[in-house]
Structure 1
Amino acid sequence: MVLFVLYVLLLIYFLFFSEGYGRIAEEERIYRYNLKPFVEIRRFWMYREQVGLSAFFMNIFGNVIGFIPLGFILPVISRRWRSGFLIVLSGFSLSLCVETIQLVTRVGCFDVDDLILNTAGAAAGYVLFAVCNYLRRRHYGEKI
Structure 2
Amino acid sequence: MLKKIYKIIIIPYTLFLLYLMFLGMGRFQYEDNLITVEPVFSTIKFIQGTHEWKNIVMIVLGNVIMFIPFGFLGWVFPKFKNLKTLLFTFISAIVIVEALQYFTRMGIFEVDDILLNTFGVYLGWLLCKGVEKRFSY
- The TM-score with structure 2 as length reference comes to 0.87
Alpha-carbon distance, 1:83 to partner? 0.7
Identity %: 29
Distance 2:130 2:25 in 1: 36
Cα displacement string for residues 73-104 of structure 1 (whole angstroms, at most 9, x for unaligned residues): x1111322211112222221221111100000
Taking structure 1 as reference, are residues 108 and 135 closer, same or farther at Cα in structure 2, changes over 3 Å only? same
1:8 aligns with 2:7: no
The answer to whether the Cα contact below 8 Å between 1:71 and 1:91 also exists between their aligned partners in 2 is no
Report the structure number with the largest CA radius of gyration: 1
What secondary structure is seen at the aligned counterpart in 2 of 1:99? helix
Structure 1 stretches of 4+ moved >3 Å: none
Q: CA RMSD in A?
A: 1.6
Distance 1:3 1:99 in 2: 23
Where does 1:14-53 land on structure 2 (aligned, <5 Å)? 14-20=20-26, 23-24=27-28, 26=29, 28-48=30-50, 50=51, 52-53=52-53
What secondary structure is seen at the aligned counterpart in 2 of 1:126? helix
Name the residue aligned to 1:124: 123
- The TM-score with structure 1 as length reference comes to 0.83
Aligned residues: 131
Distance 2:121 2:92 in 1: 11
What secondary structure is seen at the aligned counterpart in 1 of 2:92? helix
Distance 2:31 2:90 in 1: 27
What secondary structure is seen at the aligned counterpart in 1 of 2:99? helix
Alpha-carbon distance, 1:45 to partner? 2.6
Alpha-carbon distance, 1:19 to partner? 3.8
Where does 1:79-94 land on structure 2 (aligned, <5 Å)? 79-94=78-93
Distance 2:102 2:77 in 1: 32
Name the residue aligned to 2:94: 95
What secondary structure is seen at the aligned counterpart in 2 of 1:90? helix
